[in-house]
Structure formats: structure tokens, C-alpha cells
Chain A
Amino acid sequence: MVDIIGGITKALELIATGDPTLYGIVYRSLLFSGIAIILATLWGTPIAMVLSLKDFRGKNLVKALFNSLIGIPTVVLGLVLYLIFSKGGPLGPLDLLYTPGAIILGEAILVTPILVSITTSAIEAVDPEIMSLAKTLGANESQASIAVLKEAVNGVLLSNIASFNRAIAELGVALMVGGNIAGLTDVLTTAVSRYTARGELDLAIALGIILMVIVFMINAIVIMARKAKWLVTIWRRAPD
């Protein structure tokens, strides 16, 4: 019988004493997921703007594709990326496999469908007159699109949070292309699985608790920020 109570007590001790192994893993998790979201936002937001503001043939098909990719199993994506990054694969020469770069890129790709889908709906929900309004005030096409994006700020934030949650909580991609190398590519989820398999339950439980706390905290901050409006205000300093 596993000593659950003992495990939890030990876990809290590790958290309280600032165990370096534990916090190294937490740091990597936050860092990799954070960079992944920035990357996904950089390429996902323009895609969402095109999907919501431009008309072209096959637009609905592309939207449906992004929507259905939201649910892609992380192991399947992990496998595809493994094949791409491995020696014989198209990106083999980059030597990315089992590096932090592979995890970051993999997670960014994983969350792109969520980010694009939520941002697209948020922009589509903005009053269509905003685009014309910005233009009548002298904005060119891209300045007007940015004005619309700013009106969709709540949805854009939501898409970032949802993406971050997905990235930090996923296992398949990090495990398959990161390799779960201790001190280099192990993150919260992969480390939990490793320590559980090894029977080091105190560390596994501690990591599990921290993962849950991070996910809850991010959501709580967003809810509070939306109430306090400060985050929104910062984002919305005069539209340029």
C-alpha cells in the first residue's frame, strides 16, 4: 500500500524548503510553455486576423480544420514531430530532438489551433463598423485591423490563457520530442510520470500539486484582472 499521507507531507516539505530539483522543473515548465505561447501568438494572431477579416475561398474549411485540430491527441502530434525532428526527418539536420527547442516548438504547434480558433471568434464578434470607423479616421488596412484586434482584447487574452494551460499540462509532446532528460528537458508533466514510475511518490505528488496550483493561479489572475481591468487598461493605452 502506497503511503499517501506520508507522500503528501514530504511533498509539502520539498515545496516549503525550495528543493532545487523541484524548482528547476517548475522553472523549465513555465519557461518552455511561456515561449511556446509567445511563438504561437506571433504566428497565430495574424492567421486569426486573416480568417476573421478577409474573405477567400475555402475560408470555412480552414476554420473547421483549426477547430478540429484543437482536440488532437498530444501523443499523435508528439509522434509526428518526432519523425520530423529525428535524424532522417526533414528537420533532422537541425538536431532539435531531445532539446528544449523541440519542446517549445512542439507545444507552440500544439496550441496554435486553440489560439487561432478563440482569437478568430473574438475578432468576429467585434462590431464590423470598427474597421470602417478606423479607416474613416485615416487608418490604413493594417492599422484598422489592429484597432479591431484591440476591441477583441478579452478574447485574445482568453486564447493565450487557454493555450498556456494546454501547453503546461500536456505530456505527449514534451515526452516524445523532449526525451524527459533530467535537468535539461524534464518538465512538470514528464517529471511526474518519471517519478511515479520510479516510486519516488513524494516528488511526483509535489510536482502534481504545483502543476495544479499554477493552472488555478493563472485562471484566478485572469478573472481578477478582468474584474480590476488593469490588464485590459495596459493593453488598451490609446490605439495606435
Chain B
Amino acid sequence: MAIAAELKNITKTYGDKTVLESVNLQIREGEILALLGPNGSGKTTILKILALIENPTYGELKILGETVTAKNTEKIRMLTSLVFQKTTVFTTSVYNNVVYGLKIRRTPKELRDFEVKKALELVKLEGFENRPAKKLSGGEQQRVAIARALALKPKLLLLDEPTANLDPKNASILEDVIATVNREMKTTIVLATHNMFQAKALPQRIALINDGRITEIGEPAEVFNKLSTNLVSFAAVENTFKGNAYATEEGTTIISVDNGVEVETTTQKNGEVTFFINPQDIILSETALRSSARNVFKGKITEISDLGAIVKLKVDVGTFFIVQITKRSFVEMGLNLDTEVYVAFKASSVQVL
């Protein structure tokens, strides 16, 4: 299979700090590759190096067979496009945002208009051309950012946590777009994420990254199977846990985690297992709910991250759960640090790897 991009022994340091250490990675043409790892593991740096906006300290980078040098950087940069995790839009209309790269490429006006229209349709923002981009919601702005990259038909599309700060509706629109673009336009996509759920569903291959090194690479099933042996690197990925599983008489499985926390799952397994729970699958309440959810824990909020339309909470129930709720629920429930809450999720939401 042809290689879209290749990192050979890439090391990146900022002062004394080594962010990437001898990274070797081949990205195959037409694939979606997910870079999965905790925050600060080096995912963004790999993307910035692939987008040619950061230079590696050592090592060689090849894009579509051509070795990147100071001379050809600007030319090769035209083949890639990076969408940042933090949504950034120019202070102008949606149209002007999306058309920017096409103007740089001196695309004729009619073709420009056509490409802008098509890109906006793809992200379901048709008719938004004249709206000021900064006045849109966070999710819509991120869709503008994706449309802006797609309009350029890049050979290599780089997405840094594209859905991390989005509400579920916008996130699912974007996941659809990513899958469609890869399928129909055969665009090679590299996607950084710390969302296990996304990593399992979208990509053909996954590279696990920890502390600036690639620790594992392969197809999702293969990587997730190996994950338990390589678990140390995954402690910091959202809601990923290791525990001891034993079957119950009802046919479910109980997994005991840290500090006496026991999680029930519908998957049948015994022995040491790794599992994760999508933060969106967890319900947060002020009192213990009478519901069908098999897993209910009482805990305290220890961390609050405001992500615009949604709020991410870290809840200590003996072990830490990351819970994602809308800003509105957050405000209505009057939540704060140290607020006592209950977290609940169904046994079927526990995904055993």
C-alpha cells in the first residue's frame, strides 16, 4: 500500500523538554489513523510536524514520497491541512473563512464559490456563507474549521481532537463528515483523540502514544486486545480502567477496580480486564436515582472544565470518572467543586476491551 506520510526517527524538543522521542510512523494512503493517548503525550506535536508548522529537532519527514526540507516546506504544506483542537476562525464571514486557502492557491472565482458551497454542505452549514464566523456556536465554528480544511481537498487531513469540545449533536455530525470524506474522497486522515469511543469506531488503524513515544500500532481490535498488557500507558485516557472480573449468577460480570469500586457489565469475562465508559453515557444526579442503571456511585466533583456548550467533570467515587454534561444542566443543577453527586451508567455502557 502506498505511503502518504512517513516520520523517521522524529525527535522534538522544546528547551530541555523532549516532547517526541524517535517516533517512527507510516501513514498509509487512504486510511484513517487515530493517534490515541492522554493529554500531553505528543499527539498534537505529531500533527503539527505533519502539517509542517513545527520543525522536528531531529529526524526525517516524508510526505507523499518527498522528503521535507526548508526549501519545499511551503509547497508541500499545500498538500496538508490541520484543524486545531481549539477552534480558530478569522474575524470575518463564514464564506471568507472557507475561501481563504482557495484564494491562497489562486483558484478561479467560480471554482472557489463551488468548493465553498460544497464544503459547507458537507458540514451541514449551507446558507451560512454571510454569517460572521465568530457569532456562531462553538460546534458550528468547529464545523466551519473543518469545511475550511475540506474545501482545499488536502491529500492529508489532520484533525486534532476534532470533537473534544463539542456537544453530542455537533460531534456526531463531524464524525459522519470524517467518515464520508475518507470513504468518498479517499482522503488520508490522521486524527488525534483521547476518546476511546471515537478511536474504536472511526479509524482503520490506531497508534497509541504515551510520553512522546508510539507504544503500539495496529488495527483497533488488535490494539485493544493488547491493551491490557500495555495498560500503564493508558491510565490517563478518559474513563479507562483496569480491574479483576468475575462472572455473576445472573450472567453479568463484576469488575472490581480501585478502592472497593465494583462495576457491573454485560460482557462475560474473567480475570484481568481493561474497560472504558464513554463520558457521554454517564448520568449525573443530585440524589440516587431509581433506574435501570446497574452502576450507581456516590462521589464528589473534583475538577470542572468548561468546554463551551458542554462541561466536563471529574468525579471522585473512589476512582475517578469523567462525566460530560451540557452547560445548561450544569447551571441548573448548581454544581460546584466538592458538590456531592451520584453517577450512574448501564451495565451495557461498560465496554470491555
State whether A130 touches B92 (Cβ < 8 A).
no
State whether B84 touches A239 (Cβ < 8 A).
no
State whether A129 touches B91 (Cβ < 8 A).
no
State whether A132 touches B53 (Cβ < 8 A).
yes
Please name the residue on chain A nearest to B99 by beta carbon.
A238
State whether A238 touches B77 (Cβ < 8 A).
no
Contacting residues of chain A (148-172) with chain B, CB-CB under 8 angstroms: 150-151, 153
Known contacts A238-B99, A238-B100; A136/B92 CB under 8 A? no
CA distance A140 to B84 in the complex (A): 18
State whether B101 touches A133 (Cβ < 8 A).
no
Task: Mark B63-98 against chain A: 1 for CB-CB distance below 8 A, else 0.
Answer: 000000000001001101110101010111001100
State whether A236 touches B101 (Cβ < 8 A).
no
Q: Does B135 contact A (CB under 8 A)?
A: no
Q: Does B51 contact A (CB under 8 A)?
A: yes
Query: In whole Å, how far is B300's beta carbon from the nearest beta carbon of chain A?
Result: 35
CA distance A140 to B149 in the complex (A): 16
Please name the residue on chain B nearest to A134 by beta carbon.
B100
Known contacts A133-B84, A238-B96, A240-B103; A138/B152 CB under 8 A? yes
Known contacts A238-B96, A238-B99, A238-B103; A138/B77 CB under 8 A? yes
Q: Does B148 contact A (CB under 8 A)?
A: yes
Q: Does B331 contact A (CB under 8 A)?
A: no
Tell me the dominant secondary structure on chain B's binding face: mixed
Known contacts A129-B84, A143-B104; A136/B53 CB under 8 A? yes
Which of A127, A133, A237, A240 lies at the interface centre, i.e. has the most chain B CB atoms within 10 A of its CB? Answer: A133
State whether B90 touches A130 (Cβ < 8 A).
yes
Contacting residues of chain B (131-151) with chain A, CB-CB under 8 angstroms: 148-149
State whether A136 touches B80 (Cβ < 8 A).
yes
Q: Does A5 contact B (CB under 8 A)?
A: no
State whether B90 touches A239 (Cβ < 8 A).
yes
CA distance A151 to B96 in the complex (A): 13
Please name the residue on chain A nearest to B88 by beta carbon.
A129
Query: In whole Å, how far is B95's beta carbon from the nearest beta carbon of chain A?
Result: 8
CA distance A84 to B100 in the complex (A): 47
State whether A136 touches B100 (Cβ < 8 A).
no
Q: Does A176 contact B (CB under 8 A)?
A: no
Neighbouring A residues of B90 by C-beta, 8 Å: 130, 133, 147, 150-151, 239
Neighbouring B residues of A143 by C-beta, 8 Å: 104
Task: Mark A91-132 against chain B: 1 for CB-CB distance below 8 A, else 0.
Answer: 000000000000000000000000000000000000101101
State whether A136 touches B74 (Cβ < 8 A).
no
Query: In whole Å, how far is A234's beta carbon from the nearest beta carbon of chain B?
Result: 12
Total contacting residues, chain A, CB less than 8 A: 22
Neighbouring B residues of A237 by C-beta, 8 Å: 96
Neighbouring B residues of A150 by C-beta, 8 Å: 90-92
Q: Does A135 contact B (CB under 8 A)?
A: yes
Tell me the dominant secondary structure on chain A's binding face: helix
CA distance A150 to B91 in the complex (A): 8
Known contacts A127-B88, A130-B88; A137/B99 CB under 8 A? no
Query: In whole Å, how far is A84's beta carbon from the nearest beta carbon of chain B?
Result: 42
Q: Does B105 contact A (CB under 8 A)?
A: yes
Query: In whole Å, how far is A31's beta carbon from the nearest beta carbon of chain B?
Result: 33
Query: In whole Å, how far is A133's beta carbon from the nearest beta carbon of chain B?
Result: 5
State whether A239 touches B101 (Cβ < 8 A).
no
Neighbouring A residues of B53 by C-beta, 8 Å: 132, 135-136
State whether A236 touches B91 (Cβ < 8 A).
yes
Q: Does A14 contact B (CB under 8 A)?
A: no
Please name the residue on chain B nearest to A136 by beta carbon.
B82
CA distance A176 to B99 in the complex (A): 51
State whether B148 touches A137 (Cβ < 8 A).
yes
Query: In whole Å, how far is B242's beta carbon from the nearest beta carbon of chain A?
Result: 36
Please name the residue on chain A nearest to B86 by beta carbon.
A129
State whether A138 touches B88 (Cβ < 8 A).
no
Neighbouring A residues of B104 by C-beta, 8 Å: 137-139, 143
CA distance A111 to B207 in the complex (A): 56
Neighbouring A residues of B92 by C-beta, 8 Å: 150, 236, 238-239
Please name the residue on chain B nearest to A139 by beta carbon.
B104
- The contact of B152 among A137, A151, A239, by CB within 8 Å, is A137
Contacting residues of chain A (196-240) with chain B, CB-CB under 8 angstroms: 236-240
State whether A138 touches B101 (Cβ < 8 A).
yes
Q: Would you give 6 A-B contacts (Cβ < 8 Å), ordered by A?
A: A132-B48, A133-B90, A136-B82, A138-B78, A139-B100, A236-B96
Beyond the given A135-B77, A238-B100, please list 17 additional residue pairs across the A-B interface where CB-CB is below 8 A: A129-B88, A133-B88, A136-B51, A136-B81, A136-B82, A137-B101, A137-B104, A137-B152, A139-B101, A143-B104, A150-B90, A153-B91, A236-B92, A238-B92, A239-B96, A239-B100, A239-B103
Instruction: List residues of A whose CB falls within 8 A of some B CB.
Output: 127, 129-130, 132-140, 143, 147, 150-151, 153, 236-240
Instruction: List residues of B whose CB falls within 8 A of some A CB.
Output: 48, 51-53, 74, 77-78, 80-82, 84, 86, 88, 90-92, 95-96, 99-101, 103-105, 148-149, 152
